[in-house]
Structure formats: C-alpha cells, structure tokens
Amino acid sequence: MRSLKEKRIILAITGSIAAYKAAFLTRLLIKSGAEVRVIMTPGSTRFIAPLTLSTLSKHKVFTEVIGEESWNNHVEMGLWADAMIVAPATANSIGKLANGLCDTIVAAVYLSARCPVFLAPAMDVDMWKHPAVQNNLSKLVAAGNRIVPVGRGELASGLVGEGRMAEPEEIVAFLAKFFAADQDLRNKKIVITAGPTHEPIDPVRFVGNRSSGKMGIAIAEAAHRRGAEVKLVLGPTSMDTDLVPVFKVRTAQEMFEETIRHFVDCDVAILAAAVADYRPEHVSNQKIKKKSNTLRLDLIKNPDIAAELGTRKKGEQVTIGFALETNDEEENAFGKLQKKNFDFIVLNSLKEEGAGFAHDTNKITILGKDGSKKSYPLKPKTEVAEDILDALVALQI
C-alpha cells in the first residue's frame, strides 16, 4: 500500500449505512502513516459510535460545532489538515456542501478547509443518478473537490447498481495516489496557456470562442501542487487562480508574446488555450454602425504560438499541445502533433458529451510522437490535468 506518511487527514463521516466502513478506513489511514482526526454529523452517530472512532484514531471525535463545554474550532481544524475526506458522503451532505450550507461540524470544517477535499459518495442507485445530486457533485468538482468513484453492486436497499461507497482500501489508494504525485515536478518550470483569445473588431466587439480556461487552470494548479514553478498565460475569461502567477492577455498576439517570453527559461510549455487562428485585418476605432444588410470582415492569420515554440525548443525542452476536433479526430490531432513538433498532443473532441469547452469534465486521448495512443474515460478536468501531468512525468525529462 502506498504511503500517507505524516499526512494530517480529517475524516468526515455523514449519515449513511456505509458509515460502518469508517472504522476500517480510520485504521487503514493510520496504518499507511496518516494522523487522523474524525468529525461526524449527528446523523452518522446512529450508524457508528464516536467512541469506536475516537478509540481507533486516538483523538476526541467532534460531532457538533458547539460542544458541551466549548466551541469546537472548525477553522483551526480546517487549517490543520493536509486533506479532508468526506466518507461516506450522503446526498444530503453533498447538497449542503455544494451550496454552502453550514449546519453541521462537517460543513463548517469543509467551508474552512484550505486543503484538498475528497468525497466518497454513498447512496442508492436512483439517488446517485438523480440530476439534483449530479448537479451538486458537478458544483463540488467545479470548486476543485475530488470525487472518489462510487462502486457498483448490491446496495443496502437490495437494488443493484451504482452508488456504493468505494471500499476503504480504494479510498486510501486514491488519497495515496494524489499525494504520491507530490513534488514529482519539482525543479521544473512550466508555462501554460489557457482560455480563449478575443480579437477586436471595434471597441465593443470581438472574434472569440467559448473556452473558459478551466482545463488550463486545472493543469496549472495541479502542476503547482506537484512542485513545478508555473506561469499561466490566461486569455480573457472570468475564471482565475491565485495559486500561480497569472499573466493576463487578450489577443493571440499578446498571448504569443507573453508565452514566448516565458518559454526561454522554461522546461515545458503546455498549450491548452483556444487561440483564434485569424483576427480582423482592420480594427475600427469607433463602434461600427448598422448601415447595410451585410458586413464584410477581412481576417488575417494570427501567429501560431505552438508552432513557433516547436521551432524554438532546444535540448530537453518539451511542448505539449491540445487538439480540439469535431471530425477525423485522430488523424487531425496527429497531423498537428507533427506539424507543431509537440512531444505529445491531448485530443479532445466536441463530439463527446461532457468534453471540450466550458464543461467541468473532459474526455481525452493522448497521442505520442512514437504513434502511441492512450484514451481516458470522461473525468473531472482536475483529474484529466493529473493524467496529462503523469504523461509528462513519464517522458522523464
């Protein structure tokens, strides 16, 4: 089993029959080196006794924000932890956490936590599939939380399907994998492009696209956590991050200049931005008036950042591209890989539901220079980012 040595983990238990597994989970977390503090919703104490968990964790278990003789400091707990895992996470607790409600110690610590938060959902198959639950999960993923995949099988109700909480061994392995990736990009300098570009037509209009920047920001944050020194060149979007230095740009030309400037002393460039290939040849300095039935816009080619980096890269410098396709996906992506001299390319297709622009999820295939190909299932962009960085680490630069 991989190690969680010296990791400080808050185990938050909410009210599901799967709470009985929390005893095993506590033991396994401690066995793999973690220091564990347990918090519980009042509902969960009907499924497993706090005494069991305080005995196993060797620490007092908190079940209320305000205890009998004191105020239990949820802020301190939130700051103390290296990770918080909500297991089991019920439909009710998922709903509360997703919407910022705060009527239990679990919710109070969640809102105070600065560490990564993991949720291991547990519920019946129809509850699991319900759009209300899935929407709440999407909100939690969008807020940067990680979901431990549910299992399939016989459920407490007797129904068979998805919704079973992952086994304690799987939860510990999920956490250990997260921390094992720790620092494997230490000493690496990475420049990442993300978001759209806006090419002005006049003072109020532009040519743009629907990129949100989520994919590139997820990669930047994951690379930062894995020890890299990251610079993010970000096109115009409402998304942002305060984990890494962000260089905000508007047009393809500005993104080109900023990225080239940083690449000089970088080891890696990851080009996740959706850069406009063309821009209006003439930009009107006054708002264009609605005079005729048609309006002709002449467009000229923008510089290609990726292609330029491909010709400039020296020694062990690596460039990783994206390909956003709608047809002949692999063939087109492979063509871009070769033309832009990428070390590998991440293909995402607009034909796949939940992939590409603006979603919190993506479905990718990584194509290598050597003709290799690895396809991944639909996942939250935070996890897709880890897969891309795993592929980068595998290049052994």
* Span of 136-144, 151-159, 299-307, 367-375 interacting with ligand PMT by CB under 6 A: 299-307
**Cβ–Cβ under 8 Å, residues 392 and 366:** no
Using CB under 6 A as the binding rule, whether residue 190 contacts ligand PMT is answered as no
Using CB under 6 A as the binding rule, whether residue 214 contacts ligand PMT is answered as yes
Exactly one of 106, 273, 385, 391 binds ligand PMT (CB under 6 A); that residue is 273
Q: Smaller CB distance to ligand PMT: residue 24 or 357?
A: 357
How large is the angle between the packed helices 91-98 and 105-112, nearest 10 degrees? 40
Selecting among 92, 136, 145, 209, the annotated active-site residue is 209
Cα separation, 66 vs 123, whole angstroms: 28
Exactly one of 148, 165, 201, 323 binds ligand PMT (CB under 6 A); that residue is 323
234 alpha carbon, distance to own chain's centre: 17
Exactly one of 306, 318, 366, 388 binds ligand PMT (CB under 6 A); that residue is 306
If we measure between CA atoms, which residue out of 54, 146, 140 comes closest to residue 94? 140
Cα separation, 197 vs 49, whole angstroms: 55
The nearest distance, CB 278 to ligand PMT, in angstroms, is 9
Q: Smaller CB distance to ligand PMT: residue 44 or 211?
A: 211
Exactly one of 15, 208, 356, 380 binds ligand PMT (CB under 6 A); that residue is 356
Is position 187 annotated as part of the catalytic site? Answer: no
**Cβ–Cβ under 8 Å, residues 63 and 50:** yes
The nearest distance, CB 113 to ligand PMT, in angstroms, is 25
Using CB under 6 A as the binding rule, whether residue 92 contacts ligand PMT is answered as no
Q: Following CA atoms 282, 283, 284, 288 in sequence, which dihedral angle do they give, to the nearest 10 degrees?
A: 100
Exactly one of 272, 318, 366, 367 binds ligand PMT (CB under 6 A); that residue is 272
Cα separation, 40 vs 108, whole angstroms: 11
Q: How many CB atoms lie within 10 A of CB 313?
A: 18
Using CB under 6 A as the binding rule, whether residue 247 contacts ligand PMT is answered as no
Exactly one of 101, 160, 204, 358 binds ligand PMT (CB under 6 A); that residue is 358
Using CB under 6 A as the binding rule, whether residue 240 contacts ligand PMT is answered as no
Q: Which amino acid is at 16?
A: S
Question: Is the backbone of residue 337 left (phi > 0), alpha (psi -120 to 50) or beta?
Answer: alpha
**Cβ–Cβ under 8 Å, residues 171 and 87:** yes
If we measure between CA atoms, which residue out of 41, 3, 1 comes closest to residue 22? 41
Q: Smaller CB distance to ligand PMT: residue 104 or 302?
A: 302
Residues serving a catalytic function are: 209
Q: Would you tell me which residues interact with ligand PMT (CB under 6 A)?
A: 193, 195, 211-215, 252, 271-275, 277, 302, 304-306, 321-324, 336, 340, 348, 356-358
